[in-house]
A and B are shown apart, each in its own frame.
Chain A
Amino acid sequence: MRESLRARLLVWHTVTTALVVAVFGAAVCYLAWRDRLTDIDAALAARAAMLAGAVRPAGGDRVDVLLGPPLPPGPYAHAIWTADGRLLDRAGTSLVARPDAPGLRTREGRRERTVVAASGVRIVVSRDLAPVRQAIWTLAARLALVGAGVLAISMALGWLLAGRMLAPLARIAATARRMMAGDLAARVPAAGESTELDQIGRALNGAFDRLQAAIDRQQRFTADASHELRTPLTALSTETQWALARERTHEEWRRSLGVCARAAARMQAVVERLLAVARGAAAANARVAVRLDRLAAEAASDLAPLADRRGVTVRIAAPTLAVVGDPDRLREALTNVVANAIHYNREAGDVVVVGRRLGGQIEVAVTDTGGGIDPDDLPYVFDAFYRGRHARRQDPSGAGLGLAVTRAIVEHHGGVVHCASRPGRGTCVTISVPAPG
């Protein structure tokens, strides 16, 4: 692809240069020809004037032609006729035809000037143009030679230059091929210039970065999903294999079935949450006016039993916050955040839900007084299945999907979720959606 582009560039470059050289050469030849012709015309005029000066009317039909010394031989010729057509004088020419009307013309390869002197005497001076033509052709041939040389040099330079200009394209193509082959770390090397191709390179690198991030997240999601599903699946299969290996007591079978039931329930929970993440966007179809402050209050009251069990106090401070969206999904988004704030809080801690309108955005911030999130974990808290060290310790049974569901819902409503945390002090999750209108 690149080579054909390079060849095409060269063809255009060559055609342009050839055209320029040809036009230039033609112009030079034409101007030279014009120059010579002007000189010749001036010489013819001078000679004609001189000859006309020699013609004197001698009374009646007679004329005297007072010729001076013979003109030096040269390319010039002349002929003098009387008004009634007698040839009076002739030099350097075999011209016998009657002269034409006065003026300049080119005839039979000669430049001719005809003037009328006293008593109707006509004088024709002429010059052979063949040597001039010859000289012009020689000039043209030389110009063509030089032009061909210039063209050759220009082609060579053009080919090299096109190659250099297109080299970044080759690098971009090579990088794209490496990406295609699975090398996600491949990036277009920056030339440090701001040419168009460099801009393309930077844009592609940006796209590659995002692609890699998406693939990384996908891989982490898959790995985590497989762990979350395979662990209960393994418990199920191990337990059934054990139970069926030989005769067991009634009690042992009861216990085995209990293990299986719990494993099934856990797998079901994971699958449901997974589907919730996948649906996150799709299911939020309703677009009605909702009060986010009321949804937050509902979420808090739904979670009151959990808060009581942990001795956590939940407080809400929010003005009327009207948004447009799916109330059920938005309540779920808020519930997940508040549930986390209660769950990962310290005993008898606080959860503060603050709502406010900030410019065109409606914001709900949920702050807890828990152990906070490790800075290493913070960038991933909204990823499905991602669970920080702390979360694993506090609640080994969670699947790590709540915040992923929240993010999916909030993003579907055109909003963003943000998480800030100070280890040992607490965490603040902020949901921000655009205000209607």
Chain B
Amino acid sequence: MRLLVVEDEADLRESLARVLVDAHFAVDEAADGEDGLFRALEIEYDGIVLDRLLPRRSGDAVLAALRAAGRTTPVLLLTALDAVEDRVAGLDRGADDYLTKPFAVDELVARLRALIRRAAGTPTPAVVVGDVEVDLTRRRVHRGGGEVELTSREFDLLEVLVMHRGRVMSRAALADHLYAEDRDLLSNAIDVHVASLRRKLGADLVQTRRGLGYLVDA
């Protein structure tokens, strides 16, 4: 799952990025509203963490422009303003959630996961596909009663496919959801991970649509 963090304070932005990377997100960073909006329109992020007071373009303006462009990317607003009317104003402008600074990082991560799940139409953290059960919160996979050990990368890929189950995901789309922009990736990395997922979870779970991409059936 790939996130965009828009925050002007460099230390806070980098801290947030580190926290989110620790929580197995791929994270892009933007230091002002203009750059944040550009990236948010460029790439299909799974979620955006948006500060409200930003230079060049306020968080509210970024949010409005994003929604005006028809993007439904889940947005979590971060703000130091904690009056009820501020929170209401933020949510009314199209934010999906709201967190007041300072916050517990566990709460931030949990809220982001919940936002992303909800946006993908998967409100419960446990998803069952055939004989495979995926626990998105604890990042565990069971098959036929026994736990299957996946690498972090394998789980990330499975998570994206499960979140978008029923839809064919091209390699480029998968890469968009899996890797932050500063990561170089081997061109066949996704194919390698798909192969090991099939080895561990059965050949039928991840299907191939030749020339289009991969798919996990709904």
Chain A interface (Cβ < 8 Å from any Cβ of B): 223, 226-239, 241-242, 245-246, 259, 262-263, 389, 392-393, 396
Contact = CB atoms under 8 A, between A and B. Distances in A.
B82 interface: yes
Interface stretch (B9-17, B111-119, B134-142, B207-215): B9-17
B9 A239 contact: no
Interface in B73-102: 78-83, 86, 100-102
> Which of A223, A238, A245 gathers most chain B CB within 10 Å?
A238
A242 B12 contact: no
12 contacts: A227-B79, A229-B80, A230-B80, A232-B11, A233-B101, A234-B80, A234-B101, A237-B102, A238-B103, A389-B56, A392-B8, A396-B9
B148 interface: no
Contact of A226 (B18, B19, B81): B81
Contact of B102 (A233, A245, A392): A233
A259 B81 contact: no
Nearest to A263: B11
Contacts of B69: none
A235 B15 contact: yes
Contacts of B79: 227
B53 interface: yes
B14 to A, nearest CB: 7
Sort A-B residue pairs by CB-CB distance and give the 6 closest, nearest first: A227-B80, A230-B80, A235-B12, A234-B101, A234-B102, A230-B101
B118 to A, nearest CB: 24
Contacts of A223: 80-81, 83, 86
Contacts of B68: none
Main secondary structure of the interface of A (DSSP, over half): helix
A257 B19 CA distance: 15
Given A226-B81, A226-B82, A242-B22, A235 B55 contact: no
Nearest to B105: A241
B9 A245 contact: no
A226 B80 contact: yes
Nearest to B56: A393
Interface string B23-46: 000000000100000000000000
Given A231-B101, A263-B12, 14 more contacts: A223-B86, A227-B53, A230-B100, A232-B11, A232-B12, A234-B12, A237-B104, A238-B19, A238-B102, A242-B19, A242-B22, A245-B19, A393-B55, A396-B9
> Which of B12, B16, B103, B104 gathers most chain A CB within 10 Å?
B12
A242 B18 contact: yes
Contacts of B12: 231-232, 234-235, 238, 263
Contact of A238 (B16, B53, B55, B82): B16
Given A226-B80, A235-B12, A396 B55 contact: yes
A262 B11 contact: yes
Contacts of B53: 227
Given A393-B55, A396-B9, A242 B105 contact: yes
Nearest to B52: A227
A241 B101 contact: no
A437 to B, nearest CB: 47
Contacts of A227: 53, 79-81
Contact of B15 (A259, A392, A396): A259
B9 A242 contact: no
B159 to A, nearest CB: 20
A387 to B, nearest CB: 9
Contact of A232 (B9, B16, B106): B9
A230 B11 CA distance: 13
> Which of A228, A239, A393 gathers most chain B CB within 10 Å?
A239
A246 B21 CA distance: 13
A239 B11 contact: yes
Contacts of B100: 230
B176 to A, nearest CB: 26
> Which of B11, B19, B56 gathers most chain A CB within 10 Å?
B11
Contacts of B106: 241
